[in-house]
Amino acid sequence: MLSDIHDLLGQELVQQLLAVHPNDPQADDITGWPHWRAILNAETPAHPLLTAIRTNQLPRTPIALDVSISQSPFGMSPKKHHEVSRMTQFIADLAATRGLHDLRIVDVGAGQGYLTRALHAHFRSHTLALDNDHAQTHGAQARSGPRIPGLTHRTIHLTPATLVAAIDDWIPTTSPTTVPAPVLLVALHACGSLTPDLFRAVLGLSPTHSWRPAAVVAVGCCYNLIEPSRDFPLSTYLRLHPLPQPLPASAYQMAAQIPDHWHDSPAHLARAQLALRKVVWRALLGRLYACITHTENVTDTGSTPTMRRLGRLHHSAYDSWPAFLAQAGKRVGVDFLSASDHPPDPDLQARLESLHVLRCLLGPAVESYIVLDRVAWIREELAMSKALEGYSIDAVNLFDQATGSGRNIALILAPPPQIV
């Protein structure tokens, strides 16, 4: 599938769609935009591009999982409770079927510590929670209440080297009965480079350490925060077969889109429509501002100085175009209402809507591309590893995207199942 997605993303039309952000004035001059609108016309049969997009992405139906380990929802959103409950159950089942015993657990990018505490309570194992944000670590410790025996929190700048060093320092305090001590590494939404860095640490671990990786369960997120120069592509195949043009920075943002769930309910659809309106109106505002000031530089993320100064506006600002101009004018310090006494050009608005929707539809293919590249890379590394001989890497749909858990794919590095 990786090669098929590669071919899709290399198509001229797809490259064009990914390269042009709605904020980019170049979008106004592209002659093919009426064709984009036709692609999205619900009254016509499925366009070949839409068929190709749907075919060339990973399925996202969550795995069947009998969640029997109870988790208190206190302090958690329904989305977070769903993720912590399912991930805890999955890890418990994995440990049982793969014969993982006497575990030490390391939660990488632990955040507020919800998963940390759930795993510590279930396994009653020594557990190390690592995060690079002191405020997150402090919050996790506060939520834990009185000091819990066997649960350690540390704040460090997370890199492959510092992760290994932190575990090296911690392992002797756990009084391991087995040497090297088996360590289960977990990460729930490891942002940006943290997911590949976690696997770099594990795959590059020398046999001289006092611990060994028993398994890894990692859910990545925030692809827009990865460093393409070192984090993508990783696999030999994609490094030897580059796209005609590399993915622009804004394409990594598109990987977070879940358009298959826009129509799940009236509420979902309303949120999707509001999100579309925000993107398009802000793009139109950028053009209006450029006309007034004759200055604006667009980056490949679609970010402009005006958009950064504008920041986030309350949802009510998007109730009407005049209301939006009034609120934006207050934030930016420009009287947009006087400069524009008429609605935006409907032709341009339709063009930008088409562009953004098509880019969103490509999002799951882009995410699949990134995930499968990571899987291929880890398989290459495992093929050369004696320390992890027999281990496999799999991508598992751990969460239900319908709950809001858009990043639902976990990468599972584990030994083979035990034969009973």
Q: Are residues 307 and 343 in the same domain?
A: yes
Q: What was the pLDDT predicted at 363?
A: 96
Rounded Cα–Cα distance for residues 94 and 129 (Å): 20
- Shared domain for 208 and 90, answered yes or no, is yes
pLDDT of residue 40: 81
Residue 57 lies in a domain: no
Supply the pLDDT for residue 38.
75
Element (H, E) at 392: strand 392-397
Residue 300 lies in a domain: yes
271 and 351 together in one domain: yes
Same domain? 212 vs 98 = yes
- Domain shared by 293 and 184, yes or no: no
Q: pLDDT in tens for each of the 420 residues of the chain?
A: 999 999 999 999 899 899 888 887 766 565 556 677 778 876 666 788 899 999 999 999 999 999 999 888 888 899 999 999 999 999 999 999 999 999 999 999 998 899 999 999 999 999 999 998 666 665 656 566 557 778 999 999 999 999 999 999 999 998 877 789 999 999 999 999 999 999 999 999 988 889 999 999 999 999 999 999 999 999 999 999 999 999 999 899 999 999 999 999 999 999 999 999 999 999 898 888 878 876 655 555 445 666 677 888 999 999 999 999 999 999 888 888 887 767 888 888 888 898 999 999 999 999 999 999 999 999 999 999 989 999 999 999 999 999 999 999 999 999 999 865
Angle value at C-alpha 176, between 173 and 177, nearest 5 degrees: 150
Q: Name residue 155's beta-bridge partners.
A: 131
Whether residue 162 sits in one domain with residue 90: yes
Q: Report the number of distinct structural domains present in the chain.
A: 2
Q: How many CA atoms does the CB half-sphere of 399 hold within 13 Å? A: 26
User: What was the pLDDT predicted at 138?
Assistant: 58
- Residue 264 identity: D
Output the CA–CA distances (angstroms, integers) from residue 193 to 100, 199, 200, 223, 306, in the order listed.
27, 10, 10, 8, 28
Residue 221: strand pairing partners? 191
Is residue 252 within 8 Å of 229, Cβ to Cβ? no
Are 217 and 83 in the same domain?
Answer: yes
Structural domain contains residue 401: yes
User: What tokens appear for 390 in the block?
Assistant: 């027999």
**37 and 101 together in one domain:** no
Cβ neighbors of 296 (< 8 A, separation 6 or more) are 25, 286, 289, 290, 304, 305, 306
Task: Classify strands 104-108 and 181-191 as parallel, antiparallel or unpaired.
Answer: parallel
Q: Could you tell me the CATH number of the domain that includes residue 158?
A: 3.40.50.150
Clarify whether residues 39 and 112 are in a common domain.
no
Rg (CA), the chain: 24
- So what's the pLDDT on residue 140? 59
Residue 226: inside a domain, yes or no?
Answer: no
Clarify whether residues 213 and 287 are in a common domain: no
pLDDT at 299: 53
Residue 38 placed within a domain: yes
Tell me which residue range forms the domain holding 110.
Answer: 78-221+385-414
Instruction: Give yes or no: residues 85 and 165 share one domain.
Output: yes
85: phi then psi, degrees, rounded to nearest 5 = -60, -50
Q: Does residue 370 sit within a domain?
A: no
Last residue of a domain, one of 362, 377, 406: 362
pLDDT of amino acid 23:
83
192, 222 in Cβ contact below 8 A? yes
Is residue 70 a part of any domain in this protein?
no
Is 230 contained in some domain? Answer: no
Domain match, 112 and 206 both: yes
pLDDT recorded at residue 24: 78
